[in-house]
Chains A and B, each alone.
Chain A
Amino acid sequence: MHEKKKRKGGGMPIIQVENLTKVFGKNTKQALKLMNEGLSKNEILEKTGSTVGVNRASFSVEAGEIFVIMGLSGSGKSTLVRLINRLIEPTQGSILIDGEDLSKMDKKALRKIRREKLSMVFQRFALFPHRTILENAEFGLEIQNVDKTERKERARKALELVGLNGYIQQTPSQLSGGMQQRVGLARALANDPEVLLMDEAFSALDPLIRKEMQDELIDLQASMKKTIIFITHDLDEALRLGDRIALMKDGAIVQIGTPEEILVNPANDYVEKFVEDVDRTKILTAHHIMKRPEAVNIEKHGPRVALERMQKEGISSILVVDSQRNLKGYVTADDASDAKKNNIRDLNEILKTDIKKVEKDTTMHEIFNVINGSPIPVAVVEDEKLAGIIVRGAVIAALAGDSEVNMEHA
């Protein structure tokens, strides 16, 4: 999954943000100076009375990427996304979209970019209550003076994409929160923009609907190849959606990286604290917690060797593979011992095949269900070849955040 995402980017950056800064208040020059001297947000507020909204943020977003900007409330993430389409005027810095600097544009050029390249989805949906669903979806086209029949057609298509074709004549207040945000998404998609800016788009939805919307966004993104900048305060959401995540604190970006990089190598204490509470079961996979497997080769070894190995390792069962490391099954110590007494030479006679297998990229969340009630360790396979085993102890250690988990695989 990790590798696949990396390949998806690859192109040139569609958005390049350089040194982007917003200071609210009157004494911006002084505040900028103090900021460059490295003073904290609080110190600058104390000295100048100005609030640092965004502190010299730099990042680039590649075409087709879901770039998540995450931070707690007050970290400046909503300001940052509004700086990108200049709903808020930046104090300094530049925003390049397809190589054009948005921060230097006049109003007319800015409008053109907003109409054609950037669409926004809002936290509280921001639907127009006096317009029907269809009229809401066609808003972006209407203000571009697109011909009436064409814009209705395009709005209808966008609504179909988000699964709302049956509701076009309703008004927003007649729809549930999840459906309202679908309209918000359709309104943004109807313009056919290159970049979607989503400001805490799913934060106002209840958890089940939120998850559903996240899945749909991932599907939509996969089929439409839009670039998405997604703002959230929810780490789980960030990890689910993000190809890359930028973590913000006090207006500054603390770390940018793939979800795994952030989880596995937190840049500083703040990030570490942030990811401490994350539900690791959804991020860590079999790959992270498996151990090198003990196995016997069915083509070379008999019950005697199997029993010796088990005694040496202090285990009560052992996996059985063939010469190509294809997983065949397992044998237990009791059976091997009986076989030894009865002079059975072939492991096939005592081989058990009801073994539980998981793939390398199975999440721990799913491994729970498999390992539960299984007396023997779970085998991890890759293309039917044995890659490792998972013992219960490793699962518990990983849950506890134990550092002995095989993070070097990440």
Chain B
Amino acid sequence: MLKLMSQIPIADYTDTFTKKITNAFSFLFDPIKEHFGNMMDFTSSSLSAIPPVVVIIIVAILAFFLSGKKFGLAVFSIVGLWLIHNQELWDKLMDTFTLVLISSLLSVIIGVPIGIWMSKSSIVEAICKPILDFMQTMPAFVYLIPAVAFFGIGMVPGVFASLIFATPPTVRFTNLGIRQVSKELVEASEAFGSTGAQKLFKVELPMARQTIMAGINQTVMLSLSMVVIASMIGAPGLGRDVLSALQRASVGSGFVAGIGIVILAIIIDRFTQTANNKNKD
């Protein structure tokens, strides 16, 4: 009864489609891969060039002031980063951090405007919502395949995959934040004769900032998790150690690399959250 028709060759279609895209846009993908790759290499090697002690001190000082002159986060940062250095994972940490930094930045640059557009138009919202659901629920590994097709292996496809996986929260939260701005405040800004841009920048975005920041925090955490998975397509960093430990069933080195990722995750999370909460008061 279910055999209404023979199997629809979705997989084949997708293959052909991806190939066509790869060929048609290689003029675009190749330079992106080249220049972007160079830029990321430069970022990570300059980060690695800074002596670890200096990085640790800067992070600790930032942590101290961001968390309202409390020692907790600062002490954690010092101990955590020292431990990573102690385990000789410092260069890999810098690679991972570069990936997270670049992909989160791109996510925010792309995600916030789309979120604003969604909040302004119910049609755009209706179109974007299912796409966002799709992007978030598709197993993250799947993005690695077209990423390799488009950009080969290395950091750039890692960023591409993480972009697709990690952008949705920023878009969603921006949309939500702006839609949640109280109707009276929007009316007030309109009643005094605001233009659309004035309304957005003077009222809606400042009022939605908290929510948007929560979305960005999510995006950063998601891109960190994706960056680890991206090691499967040759993205450098702590994820690569986890992967090779998995392949060799070596619990010890897997655990050590994992701890490194956890420490990085906690520091990044607390930094983005406390920055947000501090501004609230």
Contact = CB atoms under 8 A, between A and B. Distances in A.
B13 interface: no
Contacts, number: 61
B54 to A, nearest CB: 36
A51 B188 CA distance: 25
B195 A119 contact: no
B191 A119 contact: yes
Interface stretch (A120-128, A305-313, A394-402): A120-128
Contacts of A85: 191
A111 B184 CA distance: 18
Interface of B is mostly: helix
Interface in B206-257: 206-207
B206 A120 contact: no
B38 to A, nearest CB: 41
Interface in A101-150: 111-115, 118-120, 122-124, 126, 128-130, 139-140, 142-144
Interface residues on A, range: 20 to 34
B188 A122 contact: yes
Interface string B179-217: 000101101111111110010001100110000000000
A191 interface: yes
Given A87-B187, A143-B198, A143-B202, A126 B192 contact: no
Contact of A128 (B185, B187, B193): B185
Contact of B191 (A112, A118, A129, A142): A118
Contacts of A130: 206-207
B193 to A, nearest CB: 4
Contacts of A111: 193-195
B187 A122 contact: yes
B98 to A, nearest CB: 34
B191 A114 contact: yes
Closest 7 CB pairs of A and B: A115-B193, A114-B193, A126-B184, A126-B188, A120-B191, A140-B192, A111-B193
6 contacts: A87-B191, A119-B191, A126-B184, A128-B202, A143-B192, A143-B193
Interface of A: 82, 85, 87, 111-115, 118-120, 122-124, 126, 128-130, 139-140, 142-144, 187, 191, 197
